[in-house]
Amino acid sequence: MTTLIDFLQEMEQSRQTVVLSAEEVERLAKLFGPAVRSMGFWNKSGDGSIEIPMNNVTEAARALDDASLAQAVSQLKSSGEFTGMMDHTMASRFIETLASLYLRQFQDRVHRFQEASDPAETDRLWDGIARDLFGA
Amino acid sequence: MPRIQWRRLPPAVREHLRDRVRTRAIDAQDLVTLLAWINAEPNLPDGTWCKDFGSFKLVGEGAIPKTFLTRDQPCYGQLV
């Protein structure tokens, strides 16, 4: 039987991503602001989709209790028709957590790039940084 | 407002940016600020503009990014 920890570790190690289509990205950005496009790799020079690391989704979800997570899901599903009247606190918190996780990981990559001594590693890290900054 | 066309950033400028990040002339935190700013899809003027990120500045014209300036080089164009 797989435990929750086993499941989460497997998820983290497989480096899976959740992909949001450009349409979904723009819908969420309209409702929750520009932090939406920093939740993962935004393919700004391509199809406009976002790839969010699965382990980041798991970590952001774990930062909310069950009731808050349920509220966040409900708010994320909202059409925006009554945006001004709705409470988006939990969804905003979830999105902000995802964005800050991804930006922190980006900063870590920059630090590793500055400290790396192996040319191949340096090239690989820069390719990832340039991809994040300028698109695929 | 058109999306910034990062593919039109001259390759030499991109390489120059790499060198300056590598030598820490550009601060990692300022690069994070650049990424968040790019992802916010800022409204930019049609003419020449300049954005100050602390350890570097970005200059562009409309949707086209043109060059990165050092901390000591003065901005030109409209400050954004």
Q: What are the residue boundaries of the structural domains of chain B, listed by start?
A: 6-79
How far off is chain B from A1, nearest CA to CA, in Å? Answer: 41
Any domain includes A135:
no
* Beta carbons of B36 and A38 less than 8 Å apart: yes
For the stretch A38-96, pLDDT in tens is: 999 999 888 999 999 988 998 898 888 777 888 888 777 776 555 555 567 888 889 99
Task: Kindly state the percentage of chain B with pLDDT values over 90.
Answer: 69
Q: Give the separation between CA A82 and CA B35, rounded to whole angstroms.
A: 31
Cβ separation of A110 and B41 shorter than 8 Å?
A: no
Backbone angles phi, psi at B25, to 5 degrees: -65, -25
Q: What is the pLDDT of residue B51?
A: 96
User: Does residue A50 lie in a domain region?
Assistant: yes
Query: Which domain, by its residues, includes A92?
Result: 4-76+85-102
How many residues in chain A? 136
Cα distances from A21 to residues A3, A25, B71, in angstroms, run: 31, 6, 37
Q: How many domains does chain A have?
A: 1
Question: Taking all residues of chain A, what is their mean pLDDT, rounded to a whole number?
Answer: 86
Q: Is A13 part of any domain?
A: yes
Q: What is the pLDDT of residue A56?
A: 92
What is the value of pTM for the model shown? 0.85
Residue A54 falls inside a structural domain: yes
Give the whole-number percent of chain A exceeding pLDDT 70: 88
User: φ and ψ at B78, to 5 degrees?
Assistant: -80, 130
Contact (CB<8Å) B39/A38: yes
